Copies of this chain bind each other. A is one copy, B any other.
């Protein structure tokens, strides 16, 4: 309960995908892409994990790349929502930055298979789909930069290089998807709390 409530990440990840067979294929694709990478995953593998024949995939998706795009799009939407919710929340800039990092990192840890695909398989997207996704990523960057700028203006933060620090903060959070391991000793919430503290130090928040 703690993780769900606290990070504000819930309501069943792929609930919006229908029909049921399409959702099963998509979940199978997420697992396979996260384990082996997009290019090393075969359509036969995806269909097999979903308990279907290879041809069934093409009833619901035009190509293998469309599957990746759907996953990437949903994931980026979720990430952006998380960041904006925190950015538009109440409290000081430090409160909002901590909340943003806590929930963003919590999501990357709790859904690290999805996050791995979302964050590290961008290059496998086709030209058009990639530019669409890159636009979403720029909005995420803007959300975080907004909080940091608020803190600087309010005299709460000491940040010599706002764009550079924004980049570093996002980079730090995103890379959680690469190393986080379910078998590890830390829960998503613990990592979120640790990272929120580290980020507040990076921006020189007066404690």
Residues on A lying within 8 angstroms of B by beta carbon are 36-37, 39-40, 120, 123-124, 160-161, 164-165, 167-168, 171-172, 174-176, 178-179, 186, 191, 194-195, 197-198, 201-202, 204
Contact = CB atoms under 8 A, between A and B. Distances in A.
Given A172-B175, A175-B178, 17 more contacts: A36-B123, A37-B39, A37-B124, A39-B40, A120-B178, A165-B194, A165-B198, A167-B179, A168-B172, A168-B194, A168-B198, A171-B172, A171-B176, A171-B178, A174-B175, A175-B175, A202-B202
Integer count of this chain's copies in the complex: 2
The A interface is mostly helix, strand or loop, or mixed, namely helix
A164 B186 contact: yes
A45 to B, nearest CB: 13
Nearest to A39: B39
A201 B198 CA distance: 8
A176 B167 CA distance: 10
14 contacts: A37-B37, A37-B124, A39-B39, A39-B40, A120-B120, A164-B186, A164-B191, A164-B194, A168-B198, A171-B176, A171-B179, A172-B172, A198-B202, A201-B204
Contacts of A197: 160
Contacts of A124: 37, 40
A69 to B, nearest CB: 17
